[in-house]
Amino acid sequence: MTLLTPKAVLEQHRVVICVGTGGIGKTTVSAAMALAAARAGRRTLVLTIDPARRLADALGIDALDNEPQRVSLPGPQSESLALHAMMLDPKRTFDGLIARFAPSTEVRRQVLENPIYQHVSGALSGSGEYAAMEKVLEMAESDDFDLVVVDTPPAQHVLEFLDSPRRLVEFLDSRLVKLLVHPAMAAGRFGAKLFQRPVQMVLQLIERVTGVGFLEDLSAFLMAIDDMSDGFKQRADRIRETLAGPDTAFILIAGPGQEPSRNARMFLDHLSEARARLRGIVVNRMHLWPGETPPSPELLNSTVPQADIDALAHALDDPAAARAAVSAASEMANQAHRDFVHTRILREHAEARRCFFSEIEEAPHDIHDLQTLSAIADALTVEDEVANR
C-alpha cells in the first residue's frame, strides 16, 4: 500500500499545521519541516504561536516578531532558497484586523485608542487562537510564500484552537452583544441610568474608580464591534474554509513514552472530531535500534553466549569493558523495544488513515543551530520506502 511521505505533504499543501502537547519537541519538528520544504525550493514561512522563544532557538537566530524574518541558510545555494520565520503577536494581529474592517480612518483611530479595546485585545494575547488563525490565513493568501508551517501552542484540547473562528462568530451573533450594543450607545450619552438597577450600580462604581469616560469608551467600543462584525464574520468563514480545505494538512507530533502516546491518541480523536485532514504522525525523541524491529531485552541477553563475551573481552583486552558493552547494548535494546511498543498503535493509526509515519531519533543535546536542524530535516525526508517502513 502506498502511503504519503513527509516530502509529498510538504510539496502538495499550502498550509501544514503541527499539533501536539508540550515537551515533545514540536517546535523543533515544525522548524525542521519548514527547512526541508525550503531546501526543496518552496518559499516557506514557519509561524509559531507558542510565546516561548523555542523557534528562534531552533533556527539559531536572536529573536522573532510579528513580521516574517528571513533565515540565513548554510550552503552554496542558500541565496536561492527562501525560509522565513515569525512569532505571533495577537494584539498586533487584532490591530491589523481593526485597520482592515474599520469603515473610516477616524473610526480606526478611535478604536485603537479606546481603553476598552486595548484591555480586551491585550487580554486575548494570553491565548490568541483567533488571532493565530487570522495570521495563518493572511500569510497563506500572501503571494510571498508557497507554504506556511504552523507551530501551534502546547494544548491538551486541539479543538479549542481549531474552533476559534466559530466561537468568534457565535460571540458576535450572541444575544448578549445585541442587548448591550444599543443600550451602550445611549448610555454613552445619558449615563448609567439607562440600564437596569443592578447594572447601574456596577457601572456607576466602575465610573467612580476609572473616571467619567468609562461609559463613553464602552459605547464607542461596542458600536465599533457592531459596525465591523460583518467583516470579522466573513474572515472567520474564510479561516474555516482554509482549515477544512484540501490545501491544509495536519501533522501530529508525539513523543515515545506511554503518557505522550496516550496524549497523541487523544489528539487523534480530537482531529477526527474536527474533521481535520491528518496527513502524518511524527514521533520525536525515539530510541532507535538498527534495523526494522528492535529485539526484546530478553532476546538480546539470551543470544549473547559467554563465548562471545569472552571473545569481545579478548579483543578489547578488558573483560570489564566487554561486560559494560553488553550491558549498554541490553539497555539500548530495552529503550528501543519500549518505545517501539508504545508507538505501535500510532503506526497502525497512520497506516489505517493512509498517512505517513516518521520517527526521529532523540538528539544528544538541545537544538540551537541550523546544522543540527538540518539533520532532523534529513531524517524527515528520507526515501519513500524508508519513511514508510
Read off the pLDDT of each residue in 202-223 and give the average, rounded to a whole number: 58
CB distance 283 to 25 below 8 Å: no
Q: Tell me what pLDDT residue 181 has.
A: 54
Q: Tell me what pLDDT residue 17 has.
A: 95
Evaluate if residue 185 carries a pLDDT over 60: no
Q: Which residues pair with 150 in a beta bridge?
A: 17, 47
pLDDT: is 186 or 268 the higher one? 268
Evaluate if residue 385 carries a pLDDT over 50: no
Whose CA is closest to 273, among 141, 159, 143, 144? 159
Mean pLDDT rounded to a whole number for the chain? 77
- Provide the terminal-to-terminal Cα distance of the chain, rounded to the nearest Å: 11
Q: Tell me what pLDDT residue 12 has.
A: 95
The C-alpha atoms of residue 48 and residue 58 are separated, in whole angstroms, by 12
User: Quick count: other Cβ atoms within 10 Å of Cβ 217?
Assistant: 21
What is the per-residue pLDDT across 318-377, written as a single tens digit (0 to 9) for each? 778 777 877 777 777 778 888 888 888 899 989 998 999 999 988 767 777 788 888 899
Q: Which residues pair with 46 in a beta bridge?
A: 85, 149
The C-alpha atoms of residue 378 and residue 36 are separated, in whole angstroms, by 7
The side-by-side arrangement of strands in the sheet containing 44-48 is 69-70, 83-87, 44-48, 147-151, 15-19, 248-254, 278-286, 356-361
What is the per-residue pLDDT across 82-137, written as a single tens digit (0 to 9) for each? 999 998 887 888 888 888 888 888 888 888 888 777 776 655 444 467 778 888 89
Count Cα neighbours of 233 within 13 Å in the Cβ-side half-sphere.
12
The C-alpha atoms of residue 127 and residue 363 are separated, in whole angstroms, by 30
pLDDT: is 17 or 261 the higher one? 17
User: Quick count: other Cβ atoms within 10 Å of Cβ 12?
Assistant: 14
The C-alpha atoms of residue 116 and residue 188 are separated, in whole angstroms, by 13
The C-alpha atoms of residue 6 and residue 320 are separated, in whole angstroms, by 44
Q: Tell me what pLDDT residue 245 has.
A: 92
Q: Give the pLDDT band of residue 195 (cuts 50, 70, 90).
A: very low
Give the single-character DSSP code of 194. G
Whose CA is closest to 87, among 123, 130, 45, 124? 45
Q: Give the pLDDT band of residue 247 (cuts 50, 70, 90).
A: very high
Read off the pLDDT of each residue in 376-387 and give the average, rounded to a whole number: 69
Q: Tell me what pLDDT residue 387 has.
A: 44
Q: Give the pLDDT band of residue 253 (cuts 50, 70, 90).
A: very high
Evaluate if residue 228 carries a pLDDT over 90: no
E-strand spans in the chain?
15-19, 44-48, 69-70, 83-87, 147-151, 248-254, 278-286, 356-361
Give how far the C-alpha of residue 281 lies from the chain's centroid of Cα atoms, to the nearest Å.
14
Please tell me which of 41-45, 209-213, 307-311, 336-340 the model is most confident about, judged by mean pLDDT. Answer: 41-45
The C-alpha atoms of residue 173 and residue 134 are separated, in whole angstroms, by 19
Q: Tell me what pLDDT residue 24 has.
A: 85
Q: Give the pLDDT band of residue 303 (cuts 50, 70, 90).
A: low
The C-alpha atoms of residue 208 and residue 87 are separated, in whole angstroms, by 39
Q: Tell me what pLDDT residue 358 has.
A: 93
The dihedral over CA atoms of 345, 349, 350, 353, expressed in degrees to the nearest 10, equals 170
Q: Tell me what pLDDT residue 192 has.
A: 41
Q: What percent of the chain shows pLDDT beyond 70? A: 71
Read off the pLDDT of each residue in 278-291 and give the average, rounded to a whole number: 86
CB distance 283 to 6 below 8 Å: no
Whose CA is closest to 373, among 59, 118, 109? 59
The C-alpha atoms of residue 322 and residue 124 are separated, in whole angstroms, by 60
Q: Tell me what pLDDT residue 164 has.
A: 73
Q: Which range has the worst mean pLDDT, 175-184, 272-281, 360-369?
A: 175-184
